[in-house]
Amino acid sequence: MPHAAPDSSRPPVRVRVRRVYEPPEPDDGLRVLVDRLWPRGLAKADAHLDEWPKSLTPSNELRRWYHGPDGEFEEFRHRYEQELAAPDAAEALSQLRARAAEGPVTLLTAAKDPSVSHTAVLMEALGAQ
């Protein structure tokens, strides 16, 4: 199936992913924690967060399934995309997309490998990949 042409009517989305344990950088812009649980061993003052929209994070059930013996990324992606389509998550995603069109947004996660985590799915949903 051919890829659709980029939507030139929407402003470019500037989003990147960083580990929450890394110190803030001047070009981070809006710093958004996208993990459901608070990162282990991190003091709240050290996180330098602007937002923590829990409706954008994978549910506890999905998170546990993915990190369990049957977890597999493509199935996780499918299930998480379904969760992101729920009204609260869809609204939060729309708001974050609008914020990213206004200026840079940094998604923060404790995931050791963001490329196979919910952040990869979020980046695609935001139109950043």
- Single out the residue of 86, 88, 84, 99 nearest to residue 50, CA to CA: 99
Q: How many domains does the chain have?
A: 1
Q: What is the pLDDT of residues 20-77, one digit of tens each?
A: 999 999 999 999 999 999 999 999 988 999 999 999 999 999 999 999 999 999 999 9
103 phi/psi in degrees, rounded to 5 = 180, 175
- Residue 77 inside a domain? The answer is yes
- Is the per-residue pLDDT at 8 higher than 60? no
Q: What is the pLDDT of residues 97-127, one digit of tens each?
A: 999 999 999 999 999 999 999 999 999 999 8
Alpha carbon distance 102, 80 (integer Å): 26
- Residue 6 inside a domain? The answer is no
- Residue 106 inside a domain? The answer is yes
**What pLDDT, on the 0 to 100 scale, is given for residue 5?**
45
Q: Could you list the residue range(s) of the whole structural domain that residue 78 is in?
A: 15-126
Q: What is the pTM of this model?
A: 0.86
- Is the per-residue pLDDT at 11 higher than 60? no
- Residue 96 inside a domain? The answer is yes
- Residue 10 inside a domain? The answer is no
- Residue 90 inside a domain? The answer is yes
